[in-house]
Amino acid sequence: MEIVLFILFGLLAVAAALNLLFQRHPINSALSLVVVMMSLAVLYWSLGAEFLAAAQVIVYAGAIMVLFIFVVMLLNAGEEERTHGSKIAYIVGIPGAGAIFCLLSFAFLSERSQLGSTTLGGYLSSAVSNITEISHILFTSLLLPFEVTSLLILVAILGAVVLARKEL
Amino acid sequence: MITVPIAYYLILAAILFCIGIAAFLIKRNVITIFMSIELMLNAVNLTFVAFAHMWRQVSGQIFVFFVMVVAAAEAAVGLAIIIALFRARQTLNVDEVDLLRN
């Protein structure tokens, strides 16, 4: 059951990420990024993180991607021109990304038995739900960082308004 | 019932992260480059959630929550910078934004 969910949405996420890489129009890339985020939300849910699955859909697929698509439409961004770009990016960057992937998957596969496997659904003690546990920690021991993030968001809103003004 | 090894989730996150790196390096449109940063952040979030599941702790999920908040703030400021850049240079191509090079 869970492996079917994992294979289905894992392949969907990888296919949409590759589509982001190969599409030339920013709107197509943005829509494939929405597909990646929705499939990741399903994977979060199957890992027992219901709150994060909901937050992923609302914050990432909802708010951030709408912002991206608004900017693409506002700036009337067309297809990107096919330039040669940076040679170093092709010569060093792409093999470097492949090497990072090989290193990471080698490390994960060699530690595979220690890492264990997953069980579908809630994984904390069954009496406490995932959201209860997160909110308990967030509002008691991590209250100060939580309040600081609200300040961060306020500063980000002000910064965005100031930067996007007509006369800078 | 077949369970999924945690290593598979981590490898999926590694694949998404490396696609994000490749898109960051290949893409020439500044908005798409910004999207590939979001893709890399999402891949790291998946790693956090998988490890949180492995250790039966919510600390990893709280980390992801803070990453999401910071990503939202970063997206707002970054897109405002892109709008200011477009007003100044009339282009979204990163190859043409080379004022610091000369």
Query: pLDDT-derived band of residue A83, with 50, 70 and 90 as boundaries?
Result: low
- CA atoms of B41 and B60, how far apart (whole Å): 14
Q: Which two tokens stand for residue B84?
A: 């200011």
For residue B27, what pLDDT is reported?
86
Q: Look at residue A167 and tell me whether its pLDDT is greater than 70.
A: no
CA atoms within 13 A on the CB side of A49: 32
Average pLDDT over every residue of A143-154? 94
Tell me what percent of the residues of chain A surpass a pLDDT of 70. Answer: 89
Contact A74 B83 (CB under 8 A): yes
Res. A91 pLDDT band, cuts 50 70 90 = confident
Q: Which residues pair with B93 in a beta bridge?
A: B29
Res A138 pLDDT > 80: yes
What's the pLDDT score for residue A3? 86
| Residue from B2, B27, B28, B32 to probe the interface with A (highest A Cβ count within 10 Å) | B32
CB pairs under 8 A between A and B: 248
Smallest CA–CA distance, residue A126 to chain B, in Å, is 12
pLDDT per residue as tens digits for the range B23-70 = 998 888 899 999 999 999 999 999 999 999 888 888 899 999 999 999
* Average pLDDT for chain A: 87
Whether residue A53 lies within 8 A of chain B, CB to CB, comes out as: no
Domains of chain B (ranges, CATH numbers): 6-90 (1.10.287.3510)
Which of B9, B15, B62 is closest, CB to CB, to A142? B62
Q: Which residue has the higher pLDDT, B98 or A135?
A: A135
A112 band by pLDDT with thresholds 50, 70 and 90: confident
| Segment (H or E) for A90 | none
pLDDT on residue B99: 79
- Once rounded to an integer, what is the mean pLDDT over residues A157-163? 92
Residue B1: pLDDT band by 50, 70, 90 thresholds?
Answer: low
pLDDT digits (tens, 9 = 90+) for B69-97: 999 999 999 999 999 999 888 888 888 88
**Residue B23 is nearest to which of A20, A43, A115, comparing CB atoms?**
A20
Q: Which of A63-67, A121-125, A128-132, B59-63 bottoms out in mean pLDDT, i.e. has the lowest?
A: A121-125
Q: What is the pLDDT of residue A121?
A: 59
Across the interface, whether the CB atoms of B61 and A111 are under 8 A apart is answered no
Whether B34 sits inside 8 A of A160 (CB atoms) is: no
Query: How many whole angstroms separate alpha carbon B72 and alpha carbon B74?
Result: 5
Alpha-carbon distance of B37 to A102, in angstroms, equals 21
